Structure formats: structure tokens, C-alpha cells
Structure 1
Amino acid sequence: MDASYWWSLLLIFVRIASFMVTAPLFSGRQIPNAYKIGLSAILGILCVGLLKEPLASLPLSVLMLLILKEFFVGIVLGFTATIWISAVHVAGNILDMQIGFSMASLFDPSFGTTTQLTGRLKYILAILFLLSTNGHHLLIQGILSSFDWIAIKSTIPAWSDGRLSLFILDCVKQMFMIGFMMAAPILGAMFLADVAFGILAKTVPQMNIFTVAPPVKILLHFLLYIFLLPGFFYLVNILFENMFDSMSSILKIMGA
């Protein structure tokens, strides 16, 4: 174990640890930081012996640039996966604005921020679906396979030609589209309910619509949610397929 071994281990550890900081499920605060560091170190030790091109002795300035590069590679991979999982939050926030849950927020311990009720419920269901299909294994496999595409001592020309940023923007666009598709059925039903309550307010002005409408809309939301839950998991399946395909595509872009 010479100095090149320890430098290689450090570079691998930086990439895996930065991925753990931003990737879905692993980045949540419900997983202690000590576990994230330990898992990153174990995976780094397992990977350092499998490098096709071991790191030779390099100047310290070059090593610092390689550490910075490994940090950005892990961040980009984890951020790409997180973009797709954010679609469930988008769908939940859209629905809560229409149902009336936007005034009731919950503290999300996974991200350390406040989130809406429906968005939190959809996120928990999506994470359970990810775990039940061993998607967390595919996330780990994605970061480990990145060393086959992007060597630890290679550069990434995609940083400057715009391909990487265009691909991430396309992922964000598709994420919003899937989030709107998740919310569209209930959103359409809420719109029809608002139209019905508007007509009812004109025909029966004695009725206090502002008192009757909120509980009726909440009841309608949960009734529709029960029937549309299988369709939600179908969209979540498509979401995760796009997430893993995007991780593979971004590795090809950065490793080209």
C-alpha cells in the first residue's frame, strides 16, 4: 500500500461520499452521517483494488483538481437521481394548492424543510416502492459503475461544451411533466368541483359555500386517491426507469 493506493482510495471515497450526500434515500437525515461515511469508505476499499488504471504519482496541484472533479461527478450523479424523485413533491404541492392543504405544512426530517401533506405522503410511498424493488441497490450499482466510464485520473470535457447542462435541463422538464401527470386526474376533478360550487353559489346564495366546499373537496380527494393509487405506482415505476436511464446517459456524456 504505497502513496498511490491511498490517493486512489481518497478519490474514490470523495466520489461515493458526494453521491451519498445528494442521492435520494441516502441523502435523507434519517440515515446518520456516520453510516454514510462508513458505507462510502467500505465501498471505496472494495473498488480501489479493481481499478483498471491505478493512479500513478502526480503533483499535489493535479491531485487537488482530481479531488474537485470527483466531488462534482458524485454531486451530478446524485442530483440527477434526486431531480426525478422530486416529481412526487411537485405533484403533491400542486394538489395541496387545490385541496386547501397548502396552509398545513409538515416538517420533513429527510430534507430538514417544511413540505405539504400530500407531497410527503407521495414521497414516502415512492421511497417504499424504491426499496421494495431493490432500487437502492441499483443506485449503488450506478455510482460503482461510474468508475468504468469516468476514470479517476481522466478529465471531463462535457463540463464546458454544454451537453451536461442541456441534459440536466431536459431531466428537469420531464420531471415537471411526470409530476403534472401524477396530479392531473385529481386536479381535473377538483376543477370540476370548483365549477360546481360556483354554480351552486349563484343558484343557492343562502348556502355558505366557503364552509361546505373545503370538507367536500377533501373527501373527494381521498376517494379519488384510493382508486387512482395503482396508477400512481405505474407512474412511479416510469419515474424510476427514467431516473436510472438518466444516470446511465449522464455517465456516457461525462465519460465520452
Structure 2
Amino acid sequence: MNLFNFSPSDLMSFYLTFFRVSIVLFLLPFFGGRSIPNLVKAALTIVLTLGIWPHVSFDGSLMPSSPYNIALMILGEVVLGLVLGVAVHVMFSAIQTGGNFIGVQMGFSMVNVLDPVTGVNEAVTAHFLYMTAILVFLCLNGHLYLMSAMIESFKYIPPGQIFISSKLTTQIMTISRDLFILAVKVASPIIASIFVVDLALALISKMAPQMNVLMLGFPLKIMVGFFFLSMVFSVLGLYVSEYVTTMPALLLNIIKAGSPPPPLIGN
């Protein structure tokens, strides 16, 4: 295509591709994080749009003619970005939830830090596990799978025409259910070890009432918690690796479930 002689159809096609890339990319994990400046996000969006537009794009005739229809199209793109984002955010939310469980058990529930990605206060152990999961996710090229899923959406979902079917809703609910299961799996080694420590301290308080169990228990829980936290990292890497391996098929199934049904052909 001649970059200095756009036809109206090519220009509309570029706009449609830019809308899909910008909206979906800003709602995905890592790319849409608050720690990345908006100027960097905008530059990345333009570069990606220019890179994929000659190969994967929408026809310019799909651009709505009225402002009302354009707003509906943008709303549909936002819903698509939210659906794809939820499918990946669940894993990181589960890890953060497990980190909060660990923080409560270790006595770190009052030691909170501001997460620059989500903008909320969370336990320091939750933030630590979250950053570790992000690093493992990037090392396994999870961000490339996210961009690949975004490109696949061009083949199945026209601009702003995501179809909220019962199959899509069921998949999202199933993914959300797995959040609590993964959180318990991540935190279970430390929860079990701290429970044993509490049980031992309870027995000590009965056998030696003059001993200050509270002063003894706080550093003991921290020591035991850090010991088992070092073992959680290998388990965490396995869970993130397993999720990244299944993520392409998962996102593709979600995209296919959200594709509009074929038009009915009259007899």
C-alpha cells in the first residue's frame, strides 16, 4: 500500500485495526499495567498496528457510518478486551490471593504495600509472589501468547460484534472458579506449616504457662513461613508454566465462543 495515498477504505481499515489493538492491549495484563507510562503504551499500540495491519486487518466497509454505531462498536471492543483480560488476570489474582493468605498466617497482614499495577494495597507477600509470577510469565513468552490471541480475534470477531453466548459465560465462570482453587494450592504449604506451629505453641502454653508464647510465636511463625515460602517458588513456577502452556488454547476457545453466529440463510 502507498502510505501517502490512502484510499478511504484503507483509512477506515487502519482505524478499525487501531481500535482493536489499542482497546484490547490496554486491558490485558502487563501491557495495561499502570506502571507503564501512557506514552509508551500509545507508541507500542501504533507500532503494533502498523506491523499487523498489512497482514491482518478489517475491511474498511465495516466502519459504522453514524456516531451512535461507532460508540456501540467501541463498547463491543471494550467487552472483548475485558473478556480476554479476565481469562489471564484470574491467574495473577489467584496468586495475589494466595499471597494474602500467606501474609495473614505469617503476621504480615498489617504490612501492606501499594501495588503499582492494580493501584490497591496488599500484603507484602502477595506483591512478592505477584512480581515473581510476572517474571516467570514473561520468561515463558506469555506476553507473546497474549498478542497472538489478539491477532486471532481478527479472524473470528468482527469490530464490536462479540457475542455473549451461554458457552462464553460458562467458560468465564469456570475460570473464575479456579481462582480460589489455585490460591489455596499456592498458600497451602505455608498454611499447613503455620498450623503445626500454632498447635505446638498451644501445647507449650499448657505445659509451661509462665512462658510468653506470644513473644515466642511471632518470630517463630515468620521464620517457618520464610522457610516454606522458599519452597513455594518452585511450585509457583510449575503452576504458571502449566497455565501459560494451556493459555493459547484457552484464549482461542474464548474467542471462538464469543464469535457471532453465522447469519441464517432463508429458504
**Kept after mapping to 2: 8 A contact 1:106/1:114:** yes
Match of 1:92 in 2: 99
Match of 1:43 in 2: 48
Unpaired stretches in structure 1, ≥5 consecutive residues: none
**Kept after mapping to 1: 8 A contact 2:186/2:232:** no
Between the aligned partners of 2:166 and 2:232, the Cα distance in structure 1 is 40
Q: Deviations over 1:194-249 (max 9, x none)?
A: 11111111111111111110110110011122234322211221233344433222
**Which amino acid counterpart does residue 49 of structure 2 have in structure 1?**
G
Alignment of 1:33-112 (within 5 A): 33-51=38-56, 54-56=59-61, 58-60=64-66, 61-112=68-119
Unpaired stretches in structure 2, ≥5 consecutive residues: 1-5, 261-267
Match 2:133 to one of 126, 137, 145: 126
Match of 1:165 in 2: 169
Match 2:218 to one of 211, 214, 235: 214
**Which amino acid counterpart does residue 9 of structure 2 have in structure 1?**
S
Match of 2:24 in 1: 19
Does 1:236 pair with 2:243? no
Between the aligned partners of 1:235 and 1:183, the Cα distance in structure 2 is 12
Distance 1:134 1:163, change over 3 A: same
Does 1:28 pair with 2:5? no
Match 2:121 to one of 109, 114, 120: 114
Does 1:190 pair with 2:194? yes
1:168 Cα offset (Å): 1.2
**Kept after mapping to 1: 8 A contact 2:13/2:60:** yes
Q: Deviations over 1:93-116 (max 9, x none)?
A: 111111110011011112222111
Match 1:205 to one of 176, 191, 209: 209
SS in 1 for 2:113: strand
Match of 1:156 in 2: 162
SS in 2 for 1:29: coil
Q: Which moved more, 1:98-107 or 1:82-91?
A: 82-91
TM-score (norm 1): 0.90
**Kept after mapping to 2: 8 A contact 1:89/1:119:** yes
SS in 2 for 1:210: helix
Identity of aligned residues (%): 28
Q: How many residues are treated as equivalent by the alignment? A: 253
SS in 1 for 2:43: helix
**Kept after mapping to 1: 8 A contact 2:16/2:60:** no
1:45 Cα offset (Å): 2.5
Backbone CA RMSD of aligned residues: 2.0
**Which amino acid counterpart does residue 146 of structure 1 have in structure 2?**
S
1:52 Cα offset (Å): 6.6
Between the aligned partners of 1:254 and 1:17, the Cα distance in structure 2 is 19
Between the aligned partners of 2:113 and 2:76, the Cα distance in structure 1 is 37
Between the aligned partners of 1:221 and 1:244, the Cα distance in structure 2 is 35
**Which amino acid counterpart does residue 234 of structure 2 have in structure 1?**
P
Greater helix fraction, Structure 1 or Structure 2: 1
Distance 1:184 1:204, change over 3 A: same
SS in 2 for 1:88: helix
**Kept after mapping to 2: 8 A contact 1:15/1:73:** no
Between the aligned partners of 2:188 and 2:7, the Cα distance in structure 1 is 58
